[in-house]
A and B are shown apart, each in its own frame.
Chain A
Amino acid sequence: MDARIGVLALQGDVSEHIRAFEEALRAAGCNSPVVPVKKPEDLAPLDALAIPGGESTTISRLIEKNGMYQPLSEFEGGIFATCAGMVLMASEADDPRVRTLGRMDMHVARNAFGRQRESHEVRLDVAGLDSPFPAVFIRAPVATRVGSGVQALGAIDRGIVAVRQGKHMAFSFHPELVGDLRLHTLFLKHLGR
């Protein structure tokens, strides 16, 4: 097991993602450091990238400003995206203020539950896990439609909240915040490294 993983470090909960992936890698017997990614050239050596939670309008703007739109659209490794990251992965968002990367065939709705007071925790069934996952939804998006190539791994009444398309996985909630690394481990497995 050897995988070089980076975390898009323009804004958001970057250090939480770095820590979670370092732990997941260590558990898989790999001691490579997980690195922050700010510039196009930082992507070159990577097998996989995490796009963190944060504000999707802010990250979207900083992606454009840093000439990262094209490189992220063409990045050949796997992508693990949470919350704002899931919005950016979509082919379409319900809000023109965010320019999505179109990496996964799905439509997303931003802030699908409302404001912070509607943020919540729930035990969620996720395909591929044998017991429910502690899902933390913070001003979270949902997928309102997914294409035939996209597998819905988890859903609630508002929509789909966990998806996989080939090497890519995206979540409305925050596996990086809860110390449960099962979804990170699943991602590494799909990565086939």
Chain B
Amino acid sequence: MKLEELRFGTELLKRGFASMQKGGVIMDVVDAEQARIAEEAGAVAVMALERVPADIRKAGGVARMADPEKIVEIMEAVSIPVMAKVRIGHFVEAQVLEALGVDMIDESEVLTPADEQFHVDKSKFSIPFVCGARDLGEALRRINEGAAMVRTKGEAGTGNVVEAVRHMRAIMGEIRALQGRSTQELIDRAREIEAPADLVIESAKMGRLPVVNFSAGGIATPADAAMMMQLGADGVFVGSGIFKSANPQRMARAIVEAVSHYDDPQVVARVSRGLGEAMKGIDVHTLREDEVLQYRGR
């Protein structure tokens, strides 16, 4: 076989990678030990961080990409894909993660934004990106920039699922509202939500987002995870919810099973028994406006 026949970093490979994560749980971890616990519990991937979002909130200051040393430590500990976060618009942090060989980059509102006008031009990278969104317009703008996967923003580090629910209902509801419209009406709608017309038309035709759509931002229990799946998520990210709970190992396993059997209340009930305390959590309404992470990037 001739080497020039191989093609790397194509759209199909990026979106295909995201498809392989479906029905799975991606867990935030801060060291090799947590990564191994996540893998053993059945996580489909881990998100390598210096701090989980709940601790990023507490620490304050500027939150940046994790130390490459930390990311490499986690990559060496597990066989499942390793993701890591960059600040919104920080394309050099993204170049660094690509050079390290992480499997997917999360351009994340959990970190302090580096650019208030532009997101990273994700089409320039050979590894796939996931980005947060609160509604259909935001999701399609990210896909247009090259995101291979979308996730709800929710409100990270709160252990409160209400914002993830709001965002998932918004995205799914807006897609349902596209059904039965003429092409002309879809183009008009695209203008209203500031999204590319071809992606609005594609979403209408498919009855879903054109890429894999996960839920994130506040999932803290197996029932939270199963609810997001029933609302239409293809899988979930769990951030602080696992390693801020009383028994991370059991919580991790329980959420993995609840996502796989999200439509079977018997299973969700069984895995939810005796898990110990979930993370304490924050009432989103008590946050000051500058503490609300989902407003970052649009």
Chain A interfacial positions (CB closer than 8 Å to B):
9-16, 38, 53-55, 57-58, 61-62, 65, 83-84, 95, 97, 110-111, 114-123, 136, 138-139, 156-157, 174, 177-178
Contact = CB atoms under 8 A, between A and B. Distances in A.
Contact of B22 (A54, A123, A139): A54
B39 interface: yes
Contacts of B264: 38
A156 to B, nearest CB: 6
Interface in B244-280: 256-257, 260-261, 264
A58 B22 contact: no
23 contacts: A11-B24, A13-B19, A13-B22, A38-B261, A38-B264, A54-B22, A55-B24, A55-B80, A58-B256, A61-B41, A62-B256, A62-B257, A95-B79, A114-B101, A116-B81, A116-B104, A117-B126, A122-B1, A122-B5, A136-B16, A138-B13, A139-B103, A156-B1
Contact of B20 (A57, A83, A120): A83
A157 to B, nearest CB: 7
Interface string B13-32: 10011011111100000000
B174 interface: no
Given A62-B42, A121-B7, A138 B17 contact: yes
B260 A62 contact: yes
B257 A53 contact: no
Contacts of B8: 117-120
A138 B20 contact: yes
B10 interface: yes
B13 A119 contact: yes
B145 interface: no
A121 B264 CA distance: 37
Contacts of A11: 22-24, 44, 260
B123 to A, nearest CB: 16
A119 B20 CA distance: 13
A117 B9 contact: yes
A121 B39 CA distance: 27
A88 B25 CA distance: 20
B190 to A, nearest CB: 26
Contact of B23 (A10, A83, A138): A10
Contacts of B49: none
A18 to B, nearest CB: 12
B229 to A, nearest CB: 12
Contact of B101 (A54, A117, A120): A117
Contacts of B19: 13, 16, 53, 177
B128 interface: yes
Interface string B31-44: 00000000111111
A38 B262 CA distance: 11
A78 B23 CA distance: 24
Interface centre among B20, B81, B104, B261 (most CB of A within 10 A): B20
A83 B101 CA distance: 21
Contacts of B44: 11, 54-55, 58
A54 B238 CA distance: 18
A120 to B, nearest CB: 5
B139 interface: no
A115 B256 contact: no
A97 to B, nearest CB: 6
A115 B16 contact: no
Contact of B13 (A55, A121, A156): A121
A53 B17 CA distance: 10
Given A12-B20, A13-B20, A117-B8, A139 B260 contact: no
A121 B101 CA distance: 18
Contacts of B13: 116, 119-121, 136, 138
A83 B13 CA distance: 14
Contacts of A95: 79
A80 to B, nearest CB: 17
A183 B104 CA distance: 30
B38 to A, nearest CB: 10
Interface centre among A11, A61, A122 (most CB of B within 10 A): A11
Contacts of A83: 20
Contacts of B102: 115
Given A95-B79, A116-B17, A122 B261 contact: no
Contacts of B23: 9-12, 14, 54
B62 interface: no
B22 A117 contact: no
